[in-house]
A = this chain, B = another copy of it.
Amino acid sequence: MEKKITVLPGDGIGPEVVASAVRVLQAIGKRYNHEFQLQYAEIGGAAIDQYNNPLPDKTIAMCEESDAILLGAVGGPKWDNNPPELRPEKGLLNIRKTFDLFSNLRPVKAFPSLLDASPLKREVAENVDLMIVRELTGGIYFGEKHRDLDQASDLNIYSRAEIERIVDNAFELARLRRGKLCSVDKANVLETSRLWREVVEEKKEQYPDVEVEHNLVDSVAMKLITNPGHYDVVVTDNMFGDILSDEASVITGSLGVLPSASIRSDNFGLYEPVHGSAPDIAGQGKANPAATILSVAMMLRYSFALLNEAAEIERAVSAVFEDGYFTADLAKGDSRALTTDEWTDRVIAEI
């Protein structure tokens, strides 16, 4: 297989973790006989510095003629006081919207060897294996905004079609997993949530093999912590998904191991770690590349349908953790922390 990938290293530790993930990707290519062509472009702070635009046209053009995008991270104190249009995260919001990447997948899976670092009791966190499916291009993120001296507003708006496609996506994912879907809304207060719930009720006829529950966002915010093992696939809107997926990310004990995918209907997608750009440790070889490496695995699975290759990366990452190798964020007690590159070498050696 031949695929072209646009790589957007971004800011902070972005370039380091992306470099690791690219090495793993190339190792997989060699082992399974695929050719991954890479082209690099700017986004976020790096793009603001060079082009005064967090998502330059050149970057868009390159992404357009590629099969998938790999992103590091954006942001940093340098741009924190910029106006909204010139902030690094605007690049992220724009790329999602430009490429209609409406389906954001955030799997949260416990690695037994990392659970000491979790704020949750081991018996609560172990065996967690859930996937948050967040609608990423609609809702209050992109609805009309108003501001005058005395008042501000944001419109939360969803069309039936927007809800249908993300709900279909979630049903299909649930069917390939343990067949359970939890749809999250605030139907006792929001009109958008009542439409959301209606769509899920209609759609469920088409997926009789999937067991569906509706739950309110406040109640899920509790249960994700008291009983995260309850969940398989969780589907929700843009704003609730933002909050719940970050909340769920604490279960594993490390943001450094959580990948994400943002996918369009034709399976074109953007892959990035859940963590941010961590400017405080940038350039020191301390960054944990696991999340970005696992994001590459998601790319192989969801954009290229290379299921074995994806599983191979996931197995390798697990094995390195099981063998007791950790980067600085996870190394405990007297065990020496590996550098970003050393840890990546271990993963490649497993492949």
Q: A residues bordering B, Cβ < 8 Å?
A: 84, 87, 89, 93, 118-121, 124, 140-141, 143, 145-147, 149-161, 186, 188-192, 194-195, 217-219, 221-222, 225-227, 239-240, 242-247, 249-250, 255
A152 close to B247 (CB less than 8 A): no
Complex Cα distance A154/B238, Å?
14
CB A97 to nearest CB in B, in angstroms, measures 12
CB A276 to nearest CB in B, in angstroms, measures 9
CB A161 to nearest CB in B, in angstroms, measures 8
Most buried by B among A119, A140, A219, A225: A119
Task: Give the chain B neighbours of A243 by CB distance below 8 A.
Answer: 217-218, 221, 240, 243
CB-CB under 8 A for A152 and B89, given A120-B120, A222-B247, A246-B221: no
CB-CB under 8 A for A151 and B159, given A121-B120, A121-B121, A246-B218: yes
CB A96 to nearest CB in B, in angstroms, measures 12
Task: Give the chain B neighbours of A89 by CB distance below 8 A.
Answer: 188
Most buried by B among A118, A153, A245, A246: A153
**A75, closest chain B residue (CB):** B188
B150 close to A159 (CB less than 8 A): yes
Task: Give the chain B neighbours of A240 by CB distance below 8 A.
Answer: 243
Task: Give the chain B neighbours of A245 by CB distance below 8 A.
Answer: 218
B147 close to A152 (CB less than 8 A): no
B247 close to A221 (CB less than 8 A): yes
Complex Cα distance A140/B155, Å?
9
CB-CB under 8 A for A222 and B194, given A149-B160, A151-B158, A243-B217: no
B158 close to A195 (CB less than 8 A): no
Task: Give the chain B neighbours of A141 by CB distance below 8 A.
Answer: 189
A226 close to B119 (CB less than 8 A): yes
Complex Cα distance A185/B192, Å?
21
A152 close to B217 (CB less than 8 A): no
CB A153 to nearest CB in B, in angstroms, measures 4
Q: Which of B84, B154, B191, B239 contacts A146 (CB 8 A)?
A: B191
Complex Cα distance A154/B242, Å?
18
Complex Cα distance A226/B217, Å?
20
Task: Give the chain B neighbours of A120 by CB distance below 8 A.
Answer: 119-121, 225
CB A257 to nearest CB in B, in angstroms, measures 14
Other 13 A-B pairs with CB < 8 A, given A84-B188, A151-B159:
A119-B120, A120-B121, A120-B225, A150-B160, A150-B161, A152-B192, A152-B194, A218-B242, A218-B243, A218-B246, A221-B244, A222-B255, A225-B250
